């Protein structure tokens, strides 16, 4: 279903994946007059609903990837559900991938992420990736304490694939369920707060680092993001330096999200994602240049835009699918009554817990911005009532 409509001039960027990240990247591409194609699983994918030039096919299929790559000048991706071996195959065939297959091979596998961080001397939780069976998990727990955390090395997202394990019995049960999967076992770290830092880097090495955000997660799902995070200048600087270091050590091209924990002993790096990320949605209205625009600029080796905040404080609240399957579109009018609420809805079918949209508020006061973002998101989720006039 590829359609032969292209803007004048410039390279064609192909995005593998057509969810909300591709949808918002596509929006950024419209402004710059870029030609952006999408590889969507289905025509109902969030980005496929709004884009002119959509090819359908599975990101798991090398044939589909090859067919898609043939019509693009540069390829990027919005999720990790791709076989890195396929990306290496495309690269060998002469296609330009940004980030490249080597970066994907690292970030798609949580064990390899850790190798990079350890090599760079970045603080990480105690961990092991030598997990043959439950005995290895129990031995790790006995050495580093219980509870501990077991993670799927590949394919987890939004809290899926992360398991907190309390004792040897739970470990036995879980390892039966996860038989055959590659695992990472790590110490459970008492967390004071969770942070994220977004970095954009282009092939020339130019690199910009966004202001550090605090993220509020529940059940492994991001609920809120806000900035400035209540941190000392030292921790803010450390977090940004860690983000830059990871990007440079991997020779990253595109945007990178680095998730960090604040612990009693300082910062610990948790995980990486080499793509636009939920902890950067606030950059659309809250920063001079959004993560989506800077991802496209980086991928096309164009000068990167300023990452600074446009206001004093920025807050983002996710719109997650309600238990009753309410379509947030039905509450759009109520949400737009909230002053300064920038509502984003992704056009996705409502399902409980699914990320259906988000709301950003830029303001002078962080608490007020957070309250307004939460109120508008709550109205869209049906968890809040309209305020009496």
Q: Which residues bind its own copies (CB under 8 A)?
A: 5-10, 23, 26-27, 30-33, 43-44, 48-52, 54, 288, 297, 302-303, 305-306, 310-311, 327-330, 332-333, 336-337, 339-340, 342-350, 357, 362
Least Cβ distance, residue 53 to its own copies (angstroms): 9
* Nearest distance, CB of residue 64 and its own copies, angstroms: 20
Q: Compare residues 245 and 344 and give the one whose CB is closer to its own copies.
A: 344
Kindly give, in sequence order, each residue whose CB lies less than 8 Å from that of residue 348, ignoring residues fewer than 6 positions away: 20, 46, 354, 355, 356
Q: Do residues 14 and 39 make contact, with C-beta atoms less than 8 angstroms apart?
A: yes
Q: Which CB atom, from 144 or from 384, has the smaller least distance to its own copies? A: 384
Shortest reach from residue 303's CB to its own copies, in Å: 4
Nearer to its own copies, 24 or 82 (CB): 24
Which residue, 111 or 348, is less far from its own copies as judged by CB? 348
Q: What is the 3-state secondary structure (H, E, C) of 330-369?
A: HHHHHHHCCCCCEEEECCCCCCCCCEEEEEEEEECCHHHH
CB of 22 to its own copies, least distance (A): 12
> Nearest approach, Cβ of 283 to its own copies (angstroms)?
13
301 vs 298: CA distance, rounded Å: 5
Which one, 136 or 206, has the nearer CB to its own copies? 206
């Amino acid at each position: 279903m590829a359609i032969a409509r292209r803007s004048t001039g410039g390279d064609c960027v192909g995005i593998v994946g057509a969810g909300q990240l591709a949808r918002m990247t596509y929006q950024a591409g419209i402004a710059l007059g870029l030609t952006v194609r999408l590889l969507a699983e289905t025509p109902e994918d969030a980005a496929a609903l709004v884009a002119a030039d959509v090819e359908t096919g599975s990101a798991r299929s090398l044939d589909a990837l090859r067919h898609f790559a043939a019509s693009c000048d540069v390829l990027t991706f919005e999720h990790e559900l791709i076989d890195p071996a396929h990306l290496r195959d495309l690269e060998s065939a002469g296609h330009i991938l940004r980030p490249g297959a080597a970066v994907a091979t690292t970030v798609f596998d949580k064990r390899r992420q850790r190798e990079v961080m350890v090599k760079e001397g970045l603080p990480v939780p105690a961990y092991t990736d030598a997990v043959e069976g439950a005995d290895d998990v129990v031995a790790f727990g006995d050495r580093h304490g219980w509870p501990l955390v077991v993670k799927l090395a590949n394919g987890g997202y939004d809290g899926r694939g992360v398991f907190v394990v309390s004792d040897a019995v739970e470990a036995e049960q879980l390892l039966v369920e996860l038989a055959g999967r590659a695992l990472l076992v790590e110490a459970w770290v008492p967390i004071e707060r969770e942070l994220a830092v977004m970095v954009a880097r282009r092939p020339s090495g130019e690199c910009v680092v966004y202001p550090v955000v605090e993220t509020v997660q529940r059940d492994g799902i991001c609920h809120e993001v806000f900035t400035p995070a209540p941190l000392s200048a030292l921790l803010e600087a450390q977090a940004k330096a860690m983000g830059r270091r990871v990007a440079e050590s991997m020779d990253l091209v595109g945007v990178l999200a680095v998730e960090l924990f604040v612990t009693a002993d300082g910062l610990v790096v948790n995980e990486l994602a080499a793509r636009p990320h939920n902890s950067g949605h606030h950059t659309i209205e809250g920063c001079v240049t959004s993560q989506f625009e800077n991802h496209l600029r980086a991928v096309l080796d164009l000068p990167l835009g300023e990452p600074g905040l446009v206001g004093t404080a920025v807050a983002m609240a996710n719109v997650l699918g309600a238990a009753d399957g309410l379509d947030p579109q039905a509450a759009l009018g109520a949400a737009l009554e909230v002053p300064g609420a920038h509502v984003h809805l992704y056009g996705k079918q409502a399902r409980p817990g699914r990320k259906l949209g988000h709301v950003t508020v830029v303001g002078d006061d962080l608490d007020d911005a957070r309250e307004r973002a939460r109120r508008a998101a709550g109205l869209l989720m049906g968890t809040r009532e309209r305020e009496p006039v």
